[in-house]
């Protein structure tokens, strides 16, 4: 899976790289060289927090680390799927670049 560059509209930024950095990094498009960042989305942040709470809730409810681990893996996979579908990139401001 790849993210679409907001400047040249080419699917060239690897989604895994974006997801592992959790939206804190800047990404350079290999096609046009534009720097972009993940667009902040409050609803997506709320969904991610709820999914994390769901994972912790399963572990506490069943009082089992195994159940917590399985729920955590399922929640991480679901969060990655949601992010790949709905998260977008925006062109980074020149003043915010290092």
Specify the number of domains making up the chain: 1
Confidence of residue 97 (pLDDT cuts 50, 70, 90): very low
- Closest to 86 in 3D by CA, of 19, 21, 9, 26: 19
**Mean pLDDT score, 58-77:** 83
Q: Which domain holds residue 75?
A: 2-96
Gap between the Cα atoms of 95 and 98, Å rounded = 8
Q: What is the pLDDT of residue 17?
A: 67
State residue 20's pLDDT score.
67
Q: Tens digit of pLDDT for each residue in 3-57?
A: 778 888 887 667 676 666 655 667 778 888 888 877 777 888 888 788 888 888 8
């Amino acid at each position: 899976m790849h993210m679409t560059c907001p400047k040249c509209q080419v699917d060239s930024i690897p989604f895994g790289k974006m997801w592992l950095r959790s939206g804190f990094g800047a990404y350079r498009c290999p096609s046009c060289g534009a720097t972009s960042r993940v667009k902040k989305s409050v609803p997506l942040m709320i969904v991610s927090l709820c999914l994390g709470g769901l994972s912790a809730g399963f572990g506490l409810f069943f009082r089992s680390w195994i159940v917590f681990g399985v729920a955590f893996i399922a929640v991480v996979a679901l969060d990655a799927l949601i992010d790949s579908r709905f998260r977008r990139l925006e062109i980074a401001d020149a003043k915010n670049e290092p």
